């Protein structure tokens, strides 16, 4: 298996609905490191680092997010490997 890093954006009703907290919990369950943060435009930015199967599962989860969220789009692109310990909310 290969380790990959993905960075990108989740758009829709993703702020004020517990999206970042739920993302941290889901990433920890999947053994993914990285971070999540709100952006001024109402979207959420993520950095995901881990094994390909875990990243695929995380990407699928991001498409729906927690129950209160309404995700319109997930845009992720590969990037240089990031050595990040754990997963944090910024």
CATH class of residue range 3-77: alpha beta
Residues 5-36 pLDDT 10s: 999 999 999 999 999 999 999 999 999 999 99
**Of 84, 80, 64, 73, residue with least CA distance to 42:** 73
User: Which one from 11, 25, 37, 38 is the annotated catalytic residue?
Assistant: 38
Domain ranges of the chain: 3-77
Q: Is 37 in the active site?
A: no
pTM of the shown model: 0.93
Instruction: Tell me how far apart the 2 most distant CA atoms of the chain are, in Å.
Output: 36
Taken as a whole, the chain contains a residue count of 90
Phi, psi of 20 (to 5 degrees): -65, -45
Burial of 87 (0-12, 13-18, 19+ CB in 10 A): buried
Q: Of the listed 20, 25, 37, 63, which one is catalytic?
A: 20
Which residues sit opposite 28 in a β-bridge? Answer: none
Read off the pLDDT of residues 26-80 as tens digits, 9 standing for 90 and up.
999 999 999 999 999 999 999 999 999 999 999 999 999 999 999 999 999 998 8
38 a catalytic residue: yes
């Amino acid at each position: 298996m290969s380790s990959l890093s993905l960075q990108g954006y989740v758009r829709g009703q993703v702020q004020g609905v517990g999206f970042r907290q739920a993302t941290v919990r889901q990433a920890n369950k999947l053994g993914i490191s990285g971070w999540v943060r709100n952006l001024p435009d109402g979207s959420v930015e993520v950095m995901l680092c881990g094994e390909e199967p875990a990243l695929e599962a995380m990407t699928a989860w991001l498409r729906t997010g927690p129950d209160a969220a309404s995700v319109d789009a997930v845009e992720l692109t590969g990037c240089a490997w990031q050595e990040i310990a754990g997963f944090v909310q910024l």
